[in-house]
Amino acid sequence: MFSAFTRSIPQISIFHHPSSPPSVKALNLLRAAITGPYPPSKPDAPPLEFNLDIVESAPPTADQLRSILTYLPSASASPAPLSTFLSSHPSAPSGVEEPKTVDAVTKLASSNPSALKWPIVVDWYSGKASIGDVEGVKGILEELRMKRDGDVKEGEESKSKGWFS
């Protein structure tokens, strides 16, 4: 009877760096998805409904990074490696110089933003994340579209494991 009261609006954060072309493209995709028809190829489709949190030129906190690591698709049961967050920029450390802790990644990203892959997009409600990959952002948006349109069958929907559940 009151199911509308229990429905949660997804919370999506983008950790964005304006000098990163993939980050700019991802931010434009996210903004277009909430302001215009989604998918854009269907002009009569409604926009997606989610709260967009734009964090510009600042890395996620260490606690956020820990959560994001568990949201990334991984070939094994363990979280993705910390190197997932590091860019191939010449100033980024590699090999034995790579940060070994989440706190070290946060500190590195704060002092050298070029060392981080941008954007970092997180759907906190569904527990999904994409790092430095516009296609991953499209996947997050497509999942939201499928839920909106009822294309996700019962049991296929991923359980919420985010902060905003």
Cα distance between residue 63 and residue 60, in whole Å: 8
Buried b (16+ CB within 10 A) or exposed e, 89-123: eeebeeeeebbeebeebbebbeeebebbbbbbbbb
pLDDT in tens, 129-158: 999 999 999 999 999 999 999 887 544 555
What would be the CATH architecture of the domain defined by 9-149? Answer: 3-Layer(aba) Sandwich (3.40)
pLDDT of the residue at 83: 85
pLDDT confidence of residue 133? 92
Is the model more confident about 138 or about 1? 138
How many C-beta neighbours within 10 Å does residue 142 have?
14
pLDDT for the residue numbered 154: 45
Domain residue spans in the chain? 9-149
Report d(CA 87, CA 119) in Å as an integer.
11
pTM listed for this prediction: 0.84
